[in-house]
């Protein structure tokens, strides 16, 4: 997710606190938040997939679910 979208999420949040959002803005906020959550999940999954367990004998194997 790029910085512009994160900035837009923050703008919508501050506007919702100050004066409220239109139905279109609520939909946009929901869509952007879902996109943000999905990007965080993908990043975390990528990090977890790259973890390898090192055994006492020096062998390695990937972290399993």
| pLDDT single digits (tens) 10-34 | 999 999 999 999 999 999 999 999 9
Q: How far is Cα 6 from Cα 29, in angstroms, rounded to an integer?
A: 10
Range(s) of the domain holding residue 45:
3-62
Residue 9 confidence (pLDDT): 96
- In this predicted model, what pLDDT tens digit does every residue of 33-54 receive, in sequence order? 999 999 999 999 999 999 999 9
1 and 38 in contact (C-beta within 8 Å)?
no
The number of domains in the chain is 1
Q: What pLDDT is attached to residue 64?
A: 78
CA gap 22, 18 in Å, rounded? 13
Q: What is the CATH number of the domain that holds 50?
A: 1.10.287.540
Closest CA to 35 of 11, 27, 52: 27
pTM of this structure: 0.76
Which pLDDT score, from 0 to 100, does residue 63 have?
81
Q: What is the DSSP letter of 22?
A: -
């Amino acid at each position: 997710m790029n910085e512009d979208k994160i900035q837009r999420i923050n703008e919508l949040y501050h506007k919702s606190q100050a004066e409220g959002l239109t139905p279109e803005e609520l939909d946009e906020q929901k869509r952007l938040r879902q996109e943000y959550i999905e990007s965080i999940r993908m990043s975390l999954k990528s990090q977890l997939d790259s973890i390898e367990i090192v055994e006492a004998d020096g062998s390695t194997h990937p972290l399993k679910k």
